[in-house]
Structure 1
């Protein structure tokens, strides 16, 4: 994968991190009541409001966003792969949890939840992959 393609993926992960992170960290009640937006509600169906937990999730997403942004400015692919590991380590248990808690959601919300969280996980996995001519010991040109 070229550095250009990696930077696009890093931009997407950064945007996801900023969208979820700022909303949850700064407006936890609004996040609880209305995430992901567009008239859908995914968080409130999973249990009572917990400001501490929601703000922590926001901080986690903001941390991942900052790591994605920093990796986009790195001169080689190693930083992007490390960020991919972080998104994957977060994304897999996050997806697995939510897949088991879809019962209280409308079908469209359950599908949207699985697709969005699966997409986040896929982005992390893609960022971890070496390019076609890249090995672990080689650096990719900028």
Structure 2
């Protein structure tokens, strides 16, 4: 597989993550009560806190901006930093939910766990691809300096 083809796949993956994060973050930030009341299973969490939800939405928007920028410039260091940040967020979010299914039905637990797990797996795959691209670019750059 040529590097240009791999970068196209990497860009597509970054844009997919950014789009998913955009939807949730804009909803959390701009309409926190609606997010709490209407997003499936959120109302099963502890009581509503507008400040907390809107702050989380703002942080998600910051992460979204990083993912879009990484997809635009496709600099391997920028891509890796955006993906590592996203992976940390996705993994901690997944971990919280799989440890707090007390009030969830089996279907809700499977749905939430699967959806959040897919985000973690996609981020891990993209980190691996981005790392390979970074190593290949770094090796090519060293060869060009000789």
Equivalent runs, 1:51-130 vs 2, <5 Å: 51-130=50-129
Bigger CA radius of gyration: 2
Residue 16 (structure 2) pairs with residue 17 (structure 1): no
Residue 44 (structure 2) pairs with residue 45 (structure 1): yes
What's the TM-score once normalised by structure 2's chain length? Answer: 0.83
5+ residue gaps in structure 1? 36-40
What's the TM-score once normalised by structure 1's chain length? Answer: 0.85
Q: CA deviation at 1:63?
A: 1.2
**Cα RMSD after superposing both structures:** 2.3
Q: What is the aligned length?
A: 136
1:16-49: CA deviation from partner (whole Å, max 9, x where unpaired): 11100000000000000111xxxxx311101100
Moved more, 119-128 or 90-99: 119-128
Q: Distance in 1 between matches of 2:139 and 2:107?
A: 41
5+ residue gaps in structure 2? 141-146
Alignment counterpart, residue 8 of structure 2, candidates 4, 7, 17: 4
